[in-house]
Structure 1
Amino acid sequence: MAATSTNQIKDQSLSLTKRLFPWTLYALIPIALLHFYLNPLSFPPSPESELPHSFTSHFSPPSEDEKAHDTPCDYFNGKWVSDKRGPLYNGTTCGTIKENQNCIKHGKLDMGYLYWRWKPNSECQLPRFDPHAFLNVVSNKHLAFVGDSMARNQLESLLCMLATASSSTLLFSNDSNKFRRWHFSSHNATVSVYWSPFLVKGVEKSSSGPDHNELYLDHVDEKWGGDMGQMDLIVLSIGHWFLHPAIYYEDGSVLGCHYCPGLNHSAIGFYGVLRKALRTTLNGIIDRRGGKGNDGVGVIVTTFSPAHFEGEWDKAGACPKTRPYRNEEKKLEGMDAEMREIEMEEVEAAKVKAKGIGGFRLEALDVTRLALLRPDGHPGPYMYPFPFANGVQEHMQNDCVHWCLPGPIDTWNEIFLEILKKWEEQHKSEE
């Protein structure tokens, strides 16, 4: 009887275990998934909290696989991959961020956009930005960003990353902040921004004047061209302003116009105009700075950065994505591809013209595709502070063109640094 009783207890215990096991498993699965979901990301603090150690300049040095490879690297084709480290800075530690791009300060809740890095397809890795290395390369030089608001966006990204290593002094700023200059006394380096949305001479549309732009395609804009002789490095960025209505002039007469109903001018679109403007600019730099007797100049052309509007610009959800596109999800085509192609072709044509001219260096910072894959990095409604504090409004302006700071545009400057390091090595080998 005792043995029978013992066997019955074992059978009951085994039966109970079999019944409970599936329920235990079901309970553990969501716990494990929750742990996996939460652990990879370590989000930055709210604007009111103290800056964590991970956002200071004391970042970890690049690993061996992140160091530059001896062979030339193709930094412009690759994919965005998850990166737990996050950016070097945040919106509360850099005073040069334009308010409309300060997404963290303005309460952007989904900050997953901060945790991606660009991984090239080539054997090379793109190293994490090293502010000390950048300052060493631009020591005793004047670096100028020239162009539209995308040039300013890239400039402010660079200043924020450099601020993690060295302080700067604002030397000059006009009332609109469109022309500013900083000095890094630690390296005697000067960084400037020049507002020139066409690079060539232009008159911008205004509420008190004509409702179209006027471009003079055979004249460099002297608002920056007049200082060209003082510049050692020039970063050019144009594109979006060429989409606006405009009248174009060349050789003292009207060449045509873009979207000018009611005016007696031939409509010629803007692609050819973009080409002419960039050609005039690059030829102007070659003519003024090339040849013997000059110390030389390095020129970077940052290619067109696509917008990501999926809805109306003044409605909620205009750029709703919260993750990068995968390569197969988004193709570079249409206007974005055309704008990039024009800029790449003009860079190559200028290289041919400048061949044999000592001290002149030119490279395209071909960010169009890697920018296309980042629909999650724009301010959207967070171009204004806490846009949903009073609920979703009927009209809500969105910015799906510029980039949050910190954000994807920091990668532009990581690649920029690699180009400068390559030029520095070439210069040393030529001595």
Structure 2
Amino acid sequence: MKNQSTPTPLPDTPTPTTSGDAGTPGGGGGGGHEQATASPRRLAALLPSRGSSSRGTMAKRPGVLWAAALAVVVLAACTAAAAAVTISRKQHHRGGSSASSAARSCAPFAASGAWVVDESYPLYDSARCPFIRDEFACARFGRPDTMYLKYRWHLDAPCAQPRFDGAALLKMWSGKTVMFVGDSLALNQYESLLCMLHAAAGPGVRTSLSPASGKIDPSSTVRFEDYNVTVVYYLTHYLVDLVTEASGRRVLKLDTIDQARDWLAADVLVFDSWHWWPRTGPTQPWDYIQVGNTVVKDMDRTQAFTKALRTWASWVDANLVHTDTKVFFQGISPSHYRGQDWGASPKKTCMGETRPLNGTTTGAYPGGPIPQQAILRGVLAGMAKPVYLLDFTYLSQLRKDAHPTKYDGGIFGGDCTHWCVAGLPDTWNVLFYAALTGQD
């Protein structure tokens, strides 16, 4: 990762008081479609542990009694405060943090922050990353501006800035499999991480891609041979099962998740869903929805999403609660097709946008929060297995400038859903690394 220069704040945002997320020499991101493995060192625990305290023995003399009593009161207050901090962090990791607890926490996704210009960015040269698909390769297809590459998410004081050390991550993951499971937004983060790891590994790094064509059916794997690290992308739009019956009828089964057996080999799992749930018409890949023995032509999509999330959560709790597998869930990635969401004309989209929105506190996005994010938080909060919510929704809402738009090789055209690589997903991975290594 490049050394970072002094960041330049956006207009109307506070000047940072601490240095940025400087990486180590050679650190950075690399992308790929194969599995990667790292050192047998265990990943940092997701949840903080509570410290224990011991009680002193009361003396008999009145003066000593008074001092001892005062000490007990102080100790009780300190213990309560420590417990409150522990709870707030646990709630964040489990997806249930409140605004007040987030304000007190420096966990990577709980702390408030702002986008600042950092001339040391981007973290890698996308032209040298062999893993970026056309739909994310904005520079390859002629995007003329480069400022979208120069923004770094800067946490407000007193929080330390998250750091990314790709070389350390490769060592940490030696012998391990990391799997991204979900739709094309999971693919976005996967390819960014591959680029960051590829840059960190340096010239001459040996990687293998399976299948060699790079086709995702249903998965694609990149392996960093010199580190024994495997990184996998597994395509599933809904997490639950989508089956084609003998009659040709396509059925989305909200209460079955047989495909999940393919995920059990992973040491680190990163899930996402929602992007495909609202789809209707020709782009909807199912004909019916089934729950138990009940088959319906359609239902409220948020309700269906909630049922599917609960099925996924039940599978995680049944299969992973007693394992060392680390489980993460992406916050819902925003799109920018409606200008009124950021105070512009309703007909405005992300096309032609070259600067982020100004914003420094959670909830400042004019369009408001994404409702399904609250549903996701609620499901995660009720799980037995700790699941870390990679809650990058708000900081991504501010990045109306970071989409491929028309620079996607003609695949979508006017794309305000996905993100350029290099670009915003690199920040997701900086914060993902901070969560993995306990930088809070």
TM-score, normalised with respect to structure 1: 0.68
The amino acid of 1:132's aligned partner reads A
The structure-2 alpha-carbon separation of the partners of 1:326 and 1:299, relative to structure 1 and needing over 3 Å to count, comes to same
1:199 equivalent in alignment to 2:239: yes
Q: Quote the Cα distance in structure 2 between the aligned partners of 1:162 and 1:368.
A: 24
Q: Quote the Cα distance in structure 1 between the aligned partners of 2:312 and 2:154.
A: 32
Residues 169-318 of structure 1 aligned to structure 2 (within 5 Å): 169-172=208-211, 176-178=215-217, 179-203=219-243, 214-222=251-259, 225-245=260-280, 247-254=288-295, 257=298, 268-291=299-322, 295-310=323-338, 318=350
**Range with greater deviation from structure 2 (275-284 or 409-418):** 275-284
Structure 1 unaligned residues grouped into runs of 5+: 1-39, 42-53, 61-69, 258-267, 355-360, 388-395, 426-431
Q: Contact (CA 8 Å) 2:171, 2:227: kept in 1 or not?
A: yes
CA displacement at 1:175 relative to structure 2:
6.8
CA displacement at 1:251 relative to structure 2:
0.6
The structure-2 alpha-carbon separation of the partners of 1:221 and 1:305, relative to structure 1 and needing over 3 Å to count, comes to farther
Residue equivalent to 1:397: 413
The amino acid of 2:316's aligned partner reads I
Q: Contact (CA 8 Å) 2:289, 2:296: kept in 1 or not?
A: yes
SS of residue paired to 2:438: helix
Q: Contact (CA 8 Å) 1:126, 1:414: kept in 2 or not?
A: no
TM-superposition CA deviations, 1:32-72 (whole Å, max 9, x none): xxxxxxxx89xxxxxxxxxxxx9996469xxxxxxxxx995
SS of residue paired to 1:198: coil
Residue equivalent to 1:107: 142
SS of residue paired to 1:187: coil
CA displacement at 1:374 relative to structure 2:
0.2
The structure-2 alpha-carbon separation of the partners of 1:155 and 1:328, relative to structure 1 and needing over 3 Å to count, comes to closer
TM-score, normalised with respect to structure 2: 0.66
Residue equivalent to 1:374: 399
Q: Contact (CA 8 Å) 1:144, 1:233: kept in 2 or not?
A: yes
Q: How many pairs are equivalent?
A: 324
The structure-2 alpha-carbon separation of the partners of 1:135 and 1:305, relative to structure 1 and needing over 3 Å to count, comes to same
The structure-2 alpha-carbon separation of the partners of 1:339 and 1:316, relative to structure 1 and needing over 3 Å to count, comes to closer
Structure 2 unaligned residues grouped into runs of 5+: 1-7, 10-21, 29-47, 49-84, 86-104, 281-285, 340-346
Residue equivalent to 1:27: none
Residue equivalent to 2:52: none
Residue equivalent to 2:162: 127
Aligned counterpart for 1:343 among listed residues 376, 382, 395: 376
CA displacement at 1:376 relative to structure 2:
0.4
CA displacement at 1:317 relative to structure 2:
6.4
Q: Quote the Cα distance in structure 2 between the aligned partners of 1:175 and 1:169.
A: 10
Task: Let me know the Cα RMSD of the aligned residues.
Answer: 3.3
Q: Contact (CA 8 Å) 1:152, 1:193: kept in 2 or not?
A: yes
Greater RCO, 1 or 2 (C-alpha within 8 Å, sep 6+): 2
TM-superposition CA deviations, 1:288-331 (whole Å, max 9, x none): 2233xxx42111000111101247xxx99653221111127984
The amino acid of 1:327's aligned partner reads G
> Which contiguous aligned blocks of 4+ residues in structure 1 show a shift greater than 3 angstroms?
54-60, 171-176, 315-318, 328-336
SS of residue paired to 1:165: helix
Q: Quote the Cα distance in structure 2 between the aligned partners of 1:318 and 1:190.
A: 35
**Which is helix-richer, 1 or 2?**
1
